[in-house]
Structure 1
Amino acid sequence: MRQKNSKIIAPIILLFICFTNCKHKNEKPEIINEVLETTTEAIVVGANQTENYLHLLKGKRIALAANNTSVIFKNNDQTSHTHLVDSLKSLDINIVRIFAPEHGLRGKIDAGEVIKSEIDEQTGIPVVSLYGTNDNSNSEEKFKPSNAHLSDLDLVIFDIQDVGARFYTYLSTLHYVMEACAEKNIPVIVLDRPNPNGHYVDGPVVEEKFRSFVGLHPVPIVYGMTIGEYAKMINGEKWLKNGIQCDLTVVPLKNYTHNSSYTLPLRPSPNLPNDKSINLYPSLCLFEGTNVNCGRGTDMQFQTFGSPDLPKEKYNFSFTPKPNFGAKHPKNMDKECYGLDLSEMEKLDSLNFKWLIDAYNSTANKTNFFRERSINLLAGTDKLKNQIEKGFSLKEIKATWQDDLSNFKNTRQKYLIYP
C-alpha cells in the first residue's frame, strides 16, 4: 500500500529524546532536545532521524527488533524507502542479529503461525523468532530473547509499526525485549512511529487473571499512545518482571499529535491492508473470539464480517472465505457467510461493539457463538461476554468501563510525548 501521507497541521510540538535509565529509577526522563514550533510539514518517523541516534550505534554490537515496517523513507510523501537493516549496514553499523515478531521479518506469515529462526536471505543476518510456537501455553520463553541471544550485544533497537489496539501483539514483543535487556543491562532504543488509532481511548481494561500475549498490561483495548510513549509507560509503571526498569531511549516523531491523520505507507500485518481496516480493527477483532469471520480469506479483511449462522434476511452482504495471503485456513472456509460490508463506514473515534452484540442476538444457536477462552483474552475480561449474553446494550456495557478508563487516562498522561 503506497498512499500519500496527509499534511499535518500541528500546533505546539515537543520534539525530544527521552532517556529512562535504570540507575535513576525515580527521576523523570531527561529532555535532550526540545523544539517549539508551528508547522504544516509531514510527519517524520523516528527511524528517519538518524542524526538523533546514529552516534549511539557507532562501534556497538546491535540487534534490531524489526519487521517489514522498519524502514527509512526517502521522501516526504513516503512512497519510497529502504529497510532499516540495509540503511544501517550501509553506514557500517554492526547488526549482529534481528529479532522477528509475529508475522515475521518480512510481514508475510499468517496470524498465529510459527515464526522460525533462520538466516535472512537478503542480508545474511541471523533472524531470531520472538513468536516461536503455536501451542496454547503462555510461556515467556517463546516470546523473549534468551541470554544467549543477548550475550554478545551492546544495544537493541526496536522499530515496529503499531496500530493502537492492545491485542496487536507487537506491544507484548516490546515488553519482552525491554525485560530481557533490563535483566542484562543492555540499553534499548525505540524509534517511534505514529499510532493511526491514537485519537481516542476506549474499551475494558485487562484484568490480572486474563493477562496473556494479547494483553499483558492493565490498559484498555484502545490506549491512544505511540509505541514510544507506551514503552515509557511500561518502564515507568514497573510492569517488567520484578519491577526492573530498562535503560530506554525514545527517538520521537516530528510534526505529530494524537489527532494527526496518518496513512500507513506499508501494510503493518497481512490482514490490515488499508486505513479502513486499521480503523475498524479494534472494534471487529473481538469477532475472532466467535464463529464469525472478519473478512479473512477475502480482499476485505477487517472491513466486513459474516457467518453461515447469521440470517441472510437481516445481513445483506455475503462472502465465501478462501485461502489467500495472510489466511491459509480462514474461518468458515468455503462456506457462504452472511454479514455486513463496512468498507464505507465513517472513521470511528470510539469502539463499536454493536455489531458484535447484534450478531450474537441474531444467531439462532447461541451456544456455539463464543469461543470462551479466546473472547475473554481479547477483551481482557469475562465481563463483556457475560454482559452480551445477559442482553446489555452497548451504552450499558460502556458505562461499566468508565472508572477503569479514567484511572488509565491519569496513568497515560504521565508518559505522553505529544499533545
Structure 2
Amino acid sequence: MTFRFLKSTFLFLLILAAACGNISSQKNGTATKKTSEEKYTQNLSLGAERTEAYLPLLKGKKVGVVGNQTSIITTEKSPVHLVDSLLKLGVDIRKVFAPEHGFRGTADAGEVVKDGKDAKTGLPIISLYGDNKKPTPEQLKDLDILIFDIQDVGARFYTYISTLHYLMEAAAENNIPVIVFDRPNPNGHYIDGPILEPEHQSFVGMHQVPVVHGMTIGEYARMINGQKWLKNGLKADLQVIEMENYNHDLKYELPVNPSPNLPNATAINLYPSLCFFEGSNVNAGRGTDKQFQIFGSPFLPKEKYDYSYVPEPNEGAKYPKHQGKTCYGKDLSKSPFLSSINLKWLIDAYHNTSQKEEFFNSFFTKLAGTTKLQEQIESGMTAEEIRMTWKSGLEEFAKVREKYLFYE
C-alpha cells in the first residue's frame, strides 16, 4: 500500500514538473532557445575529436604539432591534451611548435617564448614567437606532416592566425602537408571593424580583413590559401578536419582559457572592443583579475569615472601598464553580450583624458590596421559616423568570406 502510494505520488510530481516546464517555455521563449543551444553544444564534435577522420592521414608519418594549452579533446571523462591523445593512439609525434604565450599558455603577451622540452612527454618544443615566427627548413626536415590545433578568438590582432600563416608558408616551401583541426570561433557571429591596409601589415595584422572576421580557424586557413596571401602566391597542401554540428551563431564557451589575459567568455566577447586601449595610455585590465573586462587610467577624471583599481603584476602581466597607480574607468564585466565592436568607450576616454596628446601610441595604428581610426576619433566623429565608413569594406569582405565558409 505504502509502495503504491509513493509510486503514485512520484508519477504525479513528475507529470507536474513536466507541465510546469512546458508552461515556463511557452511564457519565456528564451528558455526553449537556451535548451536547444545547450543540446547543440553537447552534440558538437571538434576537429580534434574526430579521430576517424584524421588518424588514417597520420599512419606511418612523422608528425609535428602546432598547439598550446587549448589543444584539448573533451570527449573523454576529463579533458585530454591532443599530444597526449595522439601519443596514446600510436602517432609518431617528433616535435611540438608553440605560439605566443607558449605551449602551456603562461607567458605574457609579447614575451619571448624560448625553445625547450615538454616536461610530461619529453618532446622538444620549438617556439614560434619572438625572432623565430616561422619554422625553418632545419626544424621541418624530419617531418612528413604538420597538425595545427589552436583555439582562436576571431580577432585580427590575436596572433594565432599570424602563426597559422607562417606555418602554412613554411610548409608550402618545404612540401609538407598541413592539417588544421577546426574549433569554434566565440566571436564568429559577426564581422566588424576597419579593413587592414597593406602598408600597416604586422604580426598583429597580417591580412586585409576586418578586426572581427567571423571565421573559424579552419575557414581562415582556407582563405589564406584561396586569397594567395602566402609569399610568392604559394598554396599550402591543406586539409581541414571540420567540426560536426557547428554554426556561426552557436554560443560556445571555451573549456580552456586561450591566453592568460582572456580568463572568461565576457573577456573574449569584449576583447575586439577593448584591445584598442592597448594602443593608448589606458589600461585594459591587465594586472587585475578582470582582464579585458575593465579599463582605466590615472589620466581619466574620477568625477566622471567612479570605478577605480590598481594594476599589479600577475600571471600574464609581469609589468602591467600603470602598475601600482590608481586607475579610474569603467567595469564592463556585467555588460550585455556584444555583436558589434563598441567604440564609445574608446572615444569617451579620449575626450575625457587629461593627457590627450599622449593618449595614442604607435601601436594603435597596428591594431586598427589604418591611420584613419585615430584621425576620426581626434576629429570628433561619433561612433556611428565612424562605423558608416566601414560599411563598404565590410560588404566587400563578406562576399569574399562567403567562399571559404564550411558552416552556416
TM norm structure 2: 0.90
Write the mapping of 1:147-186 to structure 2, written as runs, cut at 5 A. 147-186=137-176
Higher relative contact order (CA 8 A, sep 6+): 1
Read off the aligned partner of 1:115 and give its amino acid letter.
V
> Are residue 85 (structure 1) and residue 83 (structure 2) matched?
yes
Write the mapping of 1:29-48 to structure 2, written as runs, cut at 5 A. 41-48=42-49
- Mapped partners of 2:397, 2:363: distance in 1: 24
The share of aligned pairs that are identical, in percent, is: 59
Partner in structure 1 of residue 246 of structure 2: 256
Q: Is the 8 A contact 2:41 2:252 kept in 1?
A: no
- Mapped partners of 1:315, 1:39: distance in 2: 41
- Mapped partners of 2:305, 2:42: distance in 1: 44
Larger Rg, first or second structure (1 or 2)? 2
Give 2:133's match in structure 1, choosing from 129, 133, 143. Answer: 143
Partner in structure 1 of residue 18 of structure 2: none
- Mapped partners of 1:73, 1:309: distance in 2: 45
Give 2:93's match in structure 1, choosing from 81, 95, 99. Answer: 95
Give 1:404's match in structure 2, choosing from 369, 393, 396. Answer: 393
Higher deviation after alignment, 344-353 or 115-124: 115-124
Write the mapping of 1:364-383 to structure 2, written as runs, cut at 5 A. 364-371=354-361, 373-383=362-372
Between Structure 1 and Structure 2, the one with more helix by share is: 2
> Are residue 69 (structure 1) and residue 70 (structure 2) matched?
yes
Partner in structure 2 of residue 14 of structure 1: none
2:366 is paired with a residue of what secondary structure? helix
- Mapped partners of 1:364, 1:130: distance in 2: 40
Q: Is the 8 A contact 1:8 1:41 kept in 2?
A: no
- Mapped partners of 2:355, 2:311: distance in 1: 21
Equivalent pairs, count: 375
Write the mapping of 1:306-325 to structure 2, written as runs, cut at 5 A. 306-325=296-315
Partner in structure 2 of residue 389 of structure 1: 378
- Mapped partners of 1:332, 1:361: distance in 2: 20
Partner in structure 2 of residue 352 of structure 1: 342
CA-CA distance at 1:292 after TM superposition:
0.4
Q: After TM superposition, what 4+ stretches of structure 1 lie above 4 angstroms from structure 2? A: 6-10, 38-41
Show structure 1 runs of 5+ residues with no match.
1-5, 11-37, 134-141
Q: Is the 8 A contact 2:162 2:204 kept in 1?
A: yes
Partner in structure 1 of residue 6 of structure 2: none
Read off the aligned partner of 1:229 and give its amino acid letter.
E
Partner in structure 2 of residue 117 of structure 1: 115
Q: Is the 8 A contact 1:7 1:41 kept in 2?
A: no
Give 1:334's match in structure 2, choosing from 324, 333, 336. Answer: 324
CA-CA distance at 1:41 after TM superposition:
4.5
CA-CA distance at 1:92 after TM superposition:
1.3
- Mapped partners of 1:7, 1:63: distance in 2: 39
- Mapped partners of 1:238, 1:7: distance in 2: 42
Partner in structure 1 of residue 25 of structure 2: none
Q: Is the 8 A contact 1:8 1:260 kept in 2?
A: no
Give 1:301's match in structure 2, choosing from 288, 291, 295. Answer: 291
Read off the aligned partner of 1:119 and give its amino acid letter.
K
Partner in structure 2 of residue 50 of structure 1: 51
1:195 is paired with a residue of what secondary structure? coil
1:53 is paired with a residue of what secondary structure? helix
Read off the aligned partner of 1:98 and give its amino acid letter.
V
Higher deviation after alignment, 100-109 or 124-133: 124-133
- Mapped partners of 1:413, 1:356: distance in 2: 31
Partner in structure 1 of residue 13 of structure 2: none
CA-CA distance at 1:7 after TM superposition:
6.2
Show structure 2 runs of 5+ residues with no match.
1-33
